[in-house]
Structures are given as structure tokens and as C-alpha cells.
Amino acid sequence: MALPKLNTPTYELEIPSTDEKIKYRPFLVKEEKILMMAMEAGKSSDITGAVKEIVHECTFGKLDVSKLPMFDVEYLFLNIRAKSVGEVSKLKILCPDDKETYAEVEVDLTKVQVQVDEEHTNKIILSDDAGMIMTYPTIDSFKETGITDITPANMLDVIGNCILQIYEEKGEKVYDPKDQSKKELIEFLEQLNTQQFKDVQNFFDTMPKLKHEIEVLNPKTKKKSKITLTGLNDFFE
């Protein structure tokens, strides 16, 4: 006789970048095992792959996770994790007033949202007649370095993958990065001056991301401080 199949609850949320409604379920033991094995291995690529697989499976294969902006994937995983393990995440936070004492705080994951900086724009003006149109990094942008880790080693690669369009002559001449080699894109970025590169970095600094403000009470000094948690890594030990 076949064993009974257990019913799994389903929930609904809106994908931040598109406002599309998507159904999802908590992760099961088989998916939790994948995540635990990846975390035990400690390799960034394994953890990124586990997050990608869990989001794909828990949204019933309805999403192409590889093409979603990273902040969408983080938001989906956060909500899946909340329904799977618990809606409250317990953290130890370094108190900013003395920078040596740790305080225990609880974060309600259901209140964490993707926030957008008011000054954010995906258009980067390089000169009077040239510029770039950017798109957001995906989870595959970080498969070797870990979720949302933009380092000096992978910075130009991540930026190159996020260029949607390069234009000059005020838009009359347009270049599609897909028609260029990786080497050509890197060489193009390496010729940017300091201010131009700062403008590119500003795109990443201000792009939508998981963000939540909490209050921390230092158990030693009794001083309260406000701290902003940013990105998926900040919400878990």
C-alpha cells in the first residue's frame, strides 16, 4: 500500500521588480538538506546554487530564477524561509556605540521589504553624448563569490554583465553588449575615469535591496541604537 502524500500549504506574494503575483510553498526536508549541505561545505558557489534551486522548486518551477534580479531572489528566499523555519530570525548584532558588545535581537521577517533609493537611476551619463543603460545583477552574477558579494576581483565582470546598452551621439548610435566579447567590455570599463566609475558604483549602491531598520539595546551601556540590515546575509546568523 502506498504511503499517504502530505499536503503542503501555499502562499502568495508579489515579485518586487514586476508586481507579478506568484504562489510559493515552504521548503521541505529534501530542500533543507540541500541548503544544510551547501552551508556545511562553506563554498559560496554551493550556497548560491542551493538558494537558486530552493526558490525554483518552492515556486513550482514557474520562475526562471536565473533571469530574476538578485533582490527578487533574496526577497523570495526570505519569505520561503520565513514560512519554512519561522517568521522571526534571532541575530547577534555588534552594538555601534562601543563596537565590542553584542546584543541579541529578533527580526520579524514578514516586515522586511525591498526598498528603492529615491535617487536611483539605471541611466549612467558618461559624457555629453555617451552613456550606458544598466540592468540588475542576477543570482548567476554571484555564483562564484557568494550572494551579493561585489569584490575587486569580480567587480568588472558583474558590471559588464549588467550593461543593457551603450550609446553615443546622444542615442543615435547604440551598442548591444551581447555583440561584444567579455574582453571588449572589460577594456571599455577600464577606460572610465574616476568620476564615471563612481557613477557606475552609485547604480549598485542605490539599486533596490532588502532593507530593514531595527533598534538595538546595548546590554552593557544600556544605550539604544538604530541599525539598518541590508541584503539577505544580514538577516541570518
| Tens digit of each residue's pLDDT (9 = 90 or more) over 44-94 | 778 888 899 999 999 999 999 999 999 999 999 999 999 998 899 999 999
pLDDT at position 142 over 80: no
Residue 237: per-residue pLDDT:
62
Distance in angstroms between the alpha carbons of the first and the last residue of the chain: 43
Q: What is the mean pLDDT of the chain?
A: 89
pLDDT for the residue 123: 95
The number of helix segments (H) and strand segments (E) in the chain equals 6, 11
Q: Which residues contact 38 (CB under 8 A, 6 or more apart)?
A: 46, 47, 49, 50
Q: In degrees to the nearest 10, what's the CA dihedral of 18, 25, 115, 47? A: -110
- pLDDT single digits (tens) 90-134: 999 999 999 999 999 999 999 999 998 998 999 999 998 899 999
Q: For residue 147, is pLDDT > 60?
A: no
In the structure, what pLDDT confidence band is assigned to residue 184 with cuts at 50, 70 and 90? very high
Q: What is the mean predicted confidence (pLDDT) over 141-164?
A: 74
Phi and psi angles of residue 195, each rounded to the nearest 5 degrees, phi first: -65, -40
> Are the CB atoms for 228 and 212 separated by under 8 Å?
yes
CA-to-CA dists, residue 145 to 104, 115, 154, 228, angstroms: 28, 24, 8, 23
Average pLDDT over residues 129-149: 78
Q: What is the per-residue pLDDT for 5?
A: 80
CB 102, CB 94: distance < 8 Å: yes
pLDDT at 153 over 80: no
pLDDT at 73: 95
Give the per-residue pLDDT at 219.
95
